[in-house]
Amino acid sequence: MITEQIIQNILNGDMQDAVSRTQFVLYEKMNGRLSEMKEYIAKTLYNEGCDNCNEGEDKKSDKESGAYKKFFRLALKKFGVSDPSEFKSDEEKSKFYNYLDNNWESDAEEATGKEDPTDAEEDEVAAEKAANIKKMKRDDEDEDEDEDEDE
């Protein structure tokens, strides 16, 4: 194995080759780990709870994302109901939706700095997010092709 070669090079005093092989091993490990992290981040940020998401779903609004759904469920739990229709009065329902509005910052709100972005701004942010996802997938595929060529 390569680790045995590195040790043998060190014992023989060939430090330059030992360092070169060590750098190669570290590069390969880091490259693999970075690819795993990119995939993990893409899945958790953009496709939470989705094992086989369709390409057509890339441009979904922030409120359709897994993160918002999770936040919505937690808010329902905090208010002691499992569905908004269970609120006994309009006042309770209003408090719930005000809580959602005040505590959830959408991607569009974050990107534009506005508290109530327009539909066009939300669509623009969603399109940019979808383009970033596609770019990450393409970059990851390019890296896999490069690794296959190296072997």
10 Å CB burial of residue 129 (0-12, 13-18, 19+) is: buried
Residues 74, 138, single domain; the answer is: yes
pTM, rounded to two decimals? 0.40
10 Å CB burial of residue 40 (0-12, 13-18, 19+) is: exposed
pLDDT category of residue 139 using cuts at 50, 70 and 90? confident
Which structure tokens are listed for 102? Answer: 């005040």
Give the per-residue pLDDT at 48. 52
Please give the residue range of the domain that contains residue 20: 1-46
pLDDT at 143 over 50: yes
Residues 24, 62, single domain; the answer is: no
